[in-house]
Amino acid sequence: MAKTNESSSLTFPTVDKCASIGREKHTVVADMDGTLLRGSSAFSYFALVAFEVGGVLRLLFLLLASPLAGFLYYLLSESAGIKVLVFATFVGMKVLDIESVARAVLPKFYSSDLHPESWRVFSSCGKRCVLTANPRIMVEAFLKDYLGADMVFGTEIETFKGRATGFVCQPGVLVGKNKADALSKAFDTQPEIGIGDRWTDFPFMSLCKESYMVPAKPEVEPVSRDKLPKPVVFHDGRLVQKPTPLIALLTILWIPVGFFLACLRIAAGALLPMPLVYYAFWALGVRVTIRGTPPPPAKKSIGQSGVLFICSHRTLLDPIFLSTALGRPIPAVTYSLSRLSEFISPIKTVRLSRDRATDASMIKKLLEEGDLVICPEGTTCREPFLLRFSALFAELTDQLVPVSMSNRMSMFHGTTARGWKGMDPFYFFMNPSPAYEVMFLNKLPSELTCSAGKSSLEVANYIQRVIAASLSYECTSFTRKDKYRALAGNDGTVVEKPLLAPNKVMGC
């Protein structure tokens, strides 16, 4: 939400007039919504917290409360409107869950809305401070970890026994005079630059040596991915798009339909013969594109060992779509697959033990029986990056076929690090028209295998580069543990649970 005073906005020059050279020793103080971010409404970010922590019913509650918030905002004050959003979003939530979403989900969406001119000035200064009406618990992780903010002052929410009450602490929502008071207490000397976008920012901007306004221009392009201060490699959450009020409403209305459709699609994949699954998926709106020429099945009659398909890892459904493309079920080795996913899987899944000798012996036996698929990244990555490949597979066979897997989801992500992985296939198939592309690359030449003297690490790194090049992705040295430490606060180690029980510590 934003309420600007057009005549007052002429008091200060626009931010594009601010020089950004030689500011290394200067201090900048900036607002967030409409200033550092292009969008002046915080509704979408409240909606993300509501859905990711509280589910679809909490999102519905927030959506129903938003007209009241807007009414109070324009009739009474910005503070009154924000208090309604805070209450509808946070009441009863665990503080740890809010912090988890702020760390793992929101940075992806915040970083895609970064204002280029504000960022140019903000990033040029040696000391950076942000004053925002948003709850500090929502924004601090992004501002400090991704934008290098030294200080963040925001609205503080009340808590009781580890849960949010839905109310805000004194002195209330950080707007107007409250921002100026926070700035006065934080600095002994006058900051060099103040940046805001509305008349309620004037009190703190007036305390700075130079002050600049960010004009409301929705058409301005955000900072491009390659110019972001810190790339977002890992992120979590189920929603693909930023939930504006319209998108939030459509999502709520679609979920019952989508879940029914997902059940149909999963049933088709699990119950039909594999040669028919490709056509069933197409009939049910799931697009499968096959590129390249896959090798023929191994002939056990002549003692031919199976091919090991080396796949990039986008969702836990990668082996199933590989089998769909081949028209025959290919067993897969997995780690931390939920019991529900194993139960409904149309292909054989074999769990890795994470003991090197045990896993090597098991994989060799499976290859003696036929083809096999493995995802050596060890976990999924949503962004155009490949994580480091575990090199064990290269020691076990020379029959290696790299496979590039990519997919498209318009509404829901089919992976999670913080939630129950048993719902991953359902969320993927709940998308209106999900798509998978399976690209079979050339079989690894014998001179590039371990039998030719190459180390397993060299082979693994080479295949990682080949798959990355085919997808125009970037290779990284990040591992499974790096992902789970960033998103879930653990190293991805799985605690075994009974059949169909939610897996609290996830990985895939």
Considering the domain architecture, whether residues 161 and 287 belong to the same structural domain is answered as no
Considering the domain architecture, whether residues 345 and 435 belong to the same structural domain is answered as yes
Region 102-108: mean pLDDT is 96
Does residue 240 lie in a domain region?
Answer: no
Range of the domain at 299: 254-487
Residue 51, domain CATH: 3.40.50.1000
| pLDDT for res 218 | 67
Q: Which residue among 227, 244, 266 closes a domain?
A: 227
Considering the domain architecture, whether residues 196 and 275 belong to the same structural domain is answered as no
Residue 445 DSSP SS3: coil
Residue 354, domain CATH: 3.40.1130
Q: What percent of the chain has pLDDT over 70?
A: 94
Region 391-416: mean pLDDT is 95
Does residue 283 lie in a domain region?
Answer: yes
Residue 189 DSSP SS3: coil
- DSSP letters for 199-256: GGGHHHHTTSSEEEE----TTSPPPPGGG-SS-------SBSS---HHHHHHHHHHHH
Question: How many domains is the chain built from?
Answer: 2
Considering the domain architecture, whether residues 293 and 214 belong to the same structural domain is answered as no
Instruction: Count the residues in the chain.
Output: 508
pLDDT band at 302, cuts 50/70/90? low
Does residue 468 lie in a domain region?
Answer: yes
Q: Is 257 in contact with 431 (CB distance < 8 Å)?
A: no
Considering the domain architecture, whether residues 325 and 189 belong to the same structural domain is answered as no
Does residue 496 lie in a domain region?
Answer: no
Does residue 242 lie in a domain region?
Answer: no
Considering the domain architecture, whether residues 284 and 219 belong to the same structural domain is answered as no
| pLDDT for res 501 | 37
Considering the domain architecture, whether residues 221 and 278 belong to the same structural domain is answered as no
| pLDDT for res 507 | 38
Considering the domain architecture, whether residues 62 and 113 belong to the same structural domain is answered as yes
- DSSP letters for 354-397: S-HHHHHHHHHHHHHHS-EEE-TTSS---SSEEPPPPSGGGGT-
Tally Cβ neighbours within 10 Å of residue 493: 12
Looking at beta carbons, which pairs linking 355-360 to residues 24 or more positions away fall under 8 Å? Answer: 356/392, 359/333, 359/392, 360/392, 360/395, 360/396
CA distance 357 to 354: 9
Considering the domain architecture, whether residues 219 and 258 belong to the same structural domain is answered as no
Does residue 461 lie in a domain region?
Answer: yes
| pLDDT for res 508 | 39
Does residue 218 lie in a domain region?
Answer: yes
CA distance 249 to 299: 54
CA distance 19 to 22: 8
Cis peptide before 295 (omega within 30 of 0): no
Region 383-389: mean pLDDT is 96
Q: Calculate the average pLDDT of the chain.
A: 91
H-type alpha helices, 76-224? 78-90, 95-104, 106-111, 116-124, 136-145, 177-186, 202-205
Considering the domain architecture, whether residues 213 and 265 belong to the same structural domain is answered as no
Considering the domain architecture, whether residues 265 and 126 belong to the same structural domain is answered as no
- Percentages (nearest 5) of helix, strand, coil residues in the chain: 45, 15, 40
Considering the domain architecture, whether residues 341 and 385 belong to the same structural domain is answered as yes
Using the predicted structure, report yes or no on whether residue 3 has a pLDDT greater than 50.
no
**Which residues, 6 or more positions from 369, have their beta carbon under 8 angstroms from its beta carbon?**
300, 306
